[in-house]
Amino acid sequence: MPTDEWEPPAVLLTVDLVILTLRDAALRLLLIERGVEPFRDAFALPGGFLGHLGEGIEAAARRELAEEAGLGDRSLHLEQLGVYGEPGRDPRGRVVSVAYLAISPRLPDPVAGTDAAGASWHPVDAVLAGEVPLAFDHHRVVSDGVERARAKLEHSALATAFCADTFTISELQEVYEAVWGTRLDPRNFYRKVQRTEGFIVAAGPTRKTETGRPARLFRAGPRQVLHPPMVRTALTKGTDE
């Protein structure tokens, strides 16, 4: 019970990054192999402690994005995911972590960053299935992050964050299919996407590809909120909980 000279307890603050991208038509997640205790040799999300007392939390996230993932000046989607701070989640003491969700277009190669040595892309399905043991409560964080991305694809333009500056409608469809794990009808997809004013806008003189008919190029439009939403079909979903 707080008394006269009670002082509030102080906690250590970390940021953790759920970085998603598309590679080989699959949703993948960036993981670091830990070199130090605790959880040495286990995989973990990129992240780390607040650098100094005056550093902003999102600023720390961007710093770690550069240091640990080699994604420095790159423009990518970054949003706060939530706080994970249950006592006992970190053996080093009371550590509270702010998780961020980052989404990036296909990256060059195995991430050629500074400290990004032990970083590698893992299929999200395998991670969610528990085939890749993660440190701390990072499995829960990943699960929340992926679910956030899946949900936001429905009623926001988040899908374009997985694409390069310009992209084709087929590429956009691949994003939806990979993130949701479903197959969509291209004809209905074309219709739906193009009817949503401001979702994507024509870009460039319209051409590209290697074999087959060239596709028209688009870029992300100004609209962030999709109305009506894209509907996640052919998935169990419906039932409660």
Q: Name every residue whose Cβ is closer than 8 Å to that of residue 23 and which is 6 or more positions away in sequence.
A: 106, 121
Please count the residues of this chain forming the interface with DNA, following the rule CB under 7 A.
Answer: 28
By CB under 7 A, the residues from 176 to 205 that bind DNA are: 185-188, 190-192, 194-195
Question: Does the protein bind its own copies through residue 57 (CB under 8 A)?
Answer: yes
Question: Does the protein bind DNA through residue 75 (CB under 7 A)?
Answer: no
Q: Name every residue whose Cβ is closer than 8 Å to that of residue 149 and which is 6 or more positions away in sequence.
A: 20, 101, 103, 158, 179
Shortest spacing between CB 11 and DNA, in angstroms: 45
Indicate if the alpha-carbon torsion angle 140, 146, 149, 152 is positive or negative: negative
For 25, counting Cβ atoms within 10 Å of its Cβ (0-12 exposed, 13-18 middle, 19+ buried), the class is exposed
The listed partner (its own copies, DNA, none) that binds 128, CB under 5 to 8 Å by sort, is none
β-pair type (47-49, 218-220)? unpaired
**Which tokens is 122 given?**
């893992």
| Binding residue (CB under 8 A) for its own copies from 77, 94, 122, 140 | 94
| Angle, helix 138-155 to helix 169-180, in steps of 10 degrees | 140
| Binding residue (CB under 7 A) for DNA from 25, 211, 222, 241 | 211
Measure Cα distances from 52 to 16, 59, 131 in Å.
Answer: 16, 11, 36
| Binding residue (CB under 7 A) for DNA from 39, 150, 215, 223 | 215
Which CB atom, from 92 or from 207, has the smaller least distance to its own copies?
Answer: 92
Which CB atom, from 146 or from 217, has the smaller least distance to DNA?
Answer: 217
Interacting stretch for its own copies, rule CB under 8 A, among 78-86, 135-143, 158-166, 210-218? 78-86
Question: Does the protein bind its own copies through residue 82 (CB under 8 A)?
Answer: yes
Please count the CA atoms within 13 angstroms of the CA of 54 that sit on its side-chain side.
Answer: 0
Give the amino acid at 117.
A
**Which tokens is 72 given?**
């420095």
Residues at the site binding DNA, with contacts judged by CB under 7 A: 168-170, 185-188, 190-192, 194-195, 206-207, 209, 211-216, 228, 231, 233-237
Residues at the site binding its own copies, with contacts judged by CB under 8 A: 2, 8-14, 49-57, 80, 82-83, 85-87, 94, 96, 98, 155, 198, 222-225, 227-229, 231, 237-241
